[in-house]
Structure 1
Amino acid sequence: MVLGSIGIRIREGHRMPIEADHRGSDSPYIARVWRGRASGVESLTSVATSNWELVFWEFEGTLRVSVRGPETFASTAEVTGESESFGITFAHGASMPHLPVARLVDTGVESPHADGRVFVLRGEEWAVPGFDDAEDFVDRLVRAGVLTRDPLVDEVVWGGIAKVGGRSVQRRVSAATGLTQGAIRQIDRARHAAVLLGEGVPPLEVVHRVGYYDQPHLARSLQRFIGRTATQLRRREDGGEPLSLLYKPEDDGRF
């Protein structure tokens, strides 16, 4: 969830006063669509993510819009008051040429103007979309040339074989995602491991299932990208900060 100018993705089903909903999409440009509400929460842990997002949030009666880049480490954000948020998480390979993703890593750019009906993107006014019509909005961005896609990137990120040279692949992945293939895999592996641990899968089994060398390797990855230990993730009643949005990789039809 996003409050103020800090990007925070919320986790569904947490026992703290956070309500969230998220879904997949048939659009090749979209990885996930989510919405949520928070109140009475002092802080949230924003886990690392290899995707960038377009996020809309209302805070103290004011609508704000931000393009948030990939996050390469877990961070804590303070939260005050109440807020409602909606976001479109874009698939690997989708990008906005006027906002290179490489410049957005671990940061973001806020729209210069937004109200209850429209916001400004690439110097143009766009109607504010909703949770159910995100695909229509993204289609309009594509037709206007605001949003483009390199299909090779999404394919190779998920293990496909490219028909071009390795250097060309690396260059195209970096241009479209702001990250290397290695960084994307590390982040997504940690997120997958966190979901499994939250479901009660033993750490040693997670090590073998997700592809870590050993449990210390898993522990270092979780601390960096998720901000939690394996024990904290398995004990969901530990009373810690709520985590940002996590979901099974197969929810996107990738595995």
Structure 2
Amino acid sequence: MALRFEHRDTEIDATIVDRVWRTRSDAEDTMTSAARTSHHLIISRTHGRLLAGLRGPETRATIAPVPPDTEFLGVRLALGTVLRPHPAASVVDGYAPFPVTDSGRIVIGGGDWEAPTYENVEHFVRRLQGAGLLVRQRLGDEEHVGGRPEAGPSARTRQRRYRAITGLSQTAVTQIDRANAAATMLRDGHDWPTVVGTLGYFDQAHLAHALRRYIGRTARELRAGDRAAMSFLYKTRPRPGS
């Protein structure tokens, strides 16, 4: 089985939502879920049953089960976007399910919401924003007073704030994003010396270790177009950690 992901940009501010995607499984199987820095709102439908939840960042590649005959809809949130009922640290390497009412509405933050489709998911996101549940937290280093940048908090304080918002350290975000960028380049046909030189890995061994940990694939498998099922993970930012 090879899951085929359809994805698109969205009219919503890119600082809130990075991408909308969908896919469908035909048979029960497993897939490689690569490490990622973003949170995903995920809605699935199988045999008339609706499931919804928030999947947090993943700090390493894992093997995930794929149920049969299931449609998946995902909203990939931009780094720094927070769903207020669920602190980032509570869903790192985890999943927070949302209750679903008998009428098929999704319960988030004490309110119930109509389940979105791939075509109208922007309306769902905007309603969460309007209710103050989906918000963008500033990750920048500067504090602004009276419209002018002033001396900000200490580096340690900024690091704690960054982890509190994203659930990850800045170092982890950079490493995960860089591995995703490396996987993209290899799948696009670049050889490992080019990837090492472009992305700043020390050598082939350093790259190979990162791919095993974060992507769950070797450079050879990626360049050969390995067709085993993998999560949609590539091309989230112009460069690692940006």
What is the TM-score of this pair, normalised by structure 2?
Answer: 0.87
CA contact (8 A) 1:153 1:176 kept: no
Structure 1 CA distance for aligned equivalents of residues 150 and 80 of structure 2: 14
Question: Which residue in 1 is equivalent to 2:76?
Answer: 89
Higher alpha-carbon deviation: 243-252 or 83-92: 243-252
Identical amino acids, percent of aligned pairs: 39
Q: Is the radius of gyration larger for structure 1 or structure 2? A: 2
CA contact (8 A) 1:54 1:89 kept: yes
> How many Å apart are 1:115 and its aligned residue?
5.7
1:244 pairs with 2:211: no
Question: Which residue in 2 is equivalent to 1:184?
Answer: 173
Structure 1 stretches of 4+ with a deviation exceeding 6 A read none
**Deviations 1:109-149 (CA, angstroms, capped at 9, x unpaired):** 11122567411111210111222333332221122111121
What are structure 2's unaligned runs of at least 5 residues?
A: 143-148
Structure 2 CA distance for aligned equivalents of residues 162 and 200 of structure 1: 46
1:123 pairs with 2:110: yes
Question: Structure 1 pair 116/83, CA: closer, same or farther in 2 (3 Å)?
Answer: farther
Structure 1 CA distance for aligned equivalents of residues 151 and 46 of structure 2: 47
Question: Which residue in 1 is equivalent to 2:53?
Answer: 66
CA contact (8 A) 1:17 1:41 kept: no
**Residue type of the partner of 1:203?**
W
1:199 pairs with 2:184: no
2:93 to 99, 106, 119: 106
What is the TM-score of this pair, normalised by structure 1?
Answer: 0.83
Structure 2 CA distance for aligned equivalents of residues 141 and 162 of structure 1: 33
CA contact (8 A) 1:92 1:153 kept: no
Higher alpha-carbon deviation: 116-125 or 28-37: 116-125
**Deviations 1:12-59 (CA, angstroms, capped at 9, x unpaired):** xxxx44332112234121011111111135221110110011100012
Structure 1 CA distance for aligned equivalents of residues 150 and 163 of structure 2: 15
CA contact (8 A) 1:153 1:172 kept: no
Question: Which residue in 1 is equivalent to 2:215?
Answer: 226
Structure 2 CA distance for aligned equivalents of residues 162 and 52 of structure 1: 31
